[in-house]
Amino acid sequence: MFIFVAGGTGFVGSHLMPELARRGIGGRCLLRSMKKAHLCSGFDTVSGSLGDMPAGCLDGVDTVVHLSGIIREEGAQTFQSVHVTGTDDLVDEALKAGVKRFFYQSSLGASLQSASRYQKTKALAEQIVKDSGMSYAIFRPSLILGRLDGFSRQLISLINSSPAIAVPGSGEAKFQPLAVTDWVRCFLAVLEGSGPQNRIYEIGGPERFSFNELIGLYMKAMGKQKKLVHVPMGIVKAGLALLEFARAAGLKKLPPVSRDQLLLLETDNVTDVDSVKKQFGFEPARIGETLMDILPPAAA
């Protein structure tokens, strides 16, 4: 097996790549910055991006693993350019190289009807993959947690820096966090298995938590107790609009939350609580039991 990985140095990719190397699975890793080449140990590395891949970089590849994605737009890095155009370019290159299988990391809630540009562009990318003619597997995970994940970093920073925790809206939208180590187990089962092809897998952990409850879990693990202050979503969005106006006028620092992220905080992001066990045959970890492993030592 010879695979090509896009997004191998991101949060999920950084957990996957060492496991691929341990199993003797080789291939190439696409890097925007060669400074992160050490994260792709055991793989050939090629410098480029989804829209600017070196000629022949997919030669000899039988499986493409597409993990690249963004959760917030910044400059030229938009949901459309990364999720849709980037996926389209990668699929085109894969077809030219005769690639047989294509894995795409999407998101639970991906839908062409979604008001969220993030979720809508994920669904558009899924469609590009499904229409390619290659065998495919698409993962739609809920919130993935592990050491250095972006959600945990933001929440830890918020808890440490604020006397009270401002929660946009009611905080009742539910999530189904999945440990990144369990995501890797699911992925490897698909990569190495002989199970059904051309399938979308919706996956999440064995528990559902509201955003309020997740904040409570993190505070407990960190030994902190702070009041939650719920700010009406209309006020939050109005304030965000002012920040966006100030940014357009020259403010360099981006707001800590985007309008699209606020939409995601208003919608449940859950699936069957037994999704992993039913599809992959094992019981995933409970986040409450593994949170101390997720927190960096300074936060615990």
Q: Say what percent of the chain tops pLDDT 90.
A: 70
pLDDT tens per residue, range 106-122: 999 999 999 999 999 99
Residue where the block lists tokens 């109005």? 238
Q: Give the model's pLDDT for residue 253.
A: 46
CA distance 6 to 65: 6
Q: Give the model's pLDDT for residue 259.
A: 80
Cα–Cα separations (whole angstroms), residue 139 to 55, 120, 122, 123, 142: 28, 15, 11, 12, 10
Cα–Cα separations (whole angstroms), residue 173 to 110, 183, 267, 269: 16, 22, 5, 8
Amino acid type, 157: S
Q: Give the model's pLDDT for residue 216.
A: 95
Q: Give the model's pLDDT for residue 161.
A: 85
The DSSP output letter for 146 is -
| Total Cβ atoms within 10 A of residue 89 | 16
b/e per residue, 281-296, with b = 16+ CB within 10 A? eeebbebbebbeebbe
Strands 101-105 and 63-66: parallel
Q: Which fold has domain 145-177+206-270+286-300?
A: UDP-galactose 4-epimerase; domain 1 (3.90.25)
239: part of which helix (H) or strand (E)?
A: helix 233-248
Residue numbers of the chain with a pLDDT score lower than 70: 194-196, 241-256, 297-300
CATH 3.90.25.10 residue ranges of the chain are: 145-177+206-270+286-300
Please say whether the structural domain 2-141 has been given the CATH code 2.70.70.10: no
Query: Which tokens hold the place of 218?
Result: 């993190």
CA distance 54 to 84: 20
CATH 3.40.50.720 residue ranges of the chain are: 2-141
pLDDT tens per residue, range 189-199: 999 986 568 99
Query: Which tokens hold the place of 78?
Result: 């938009």
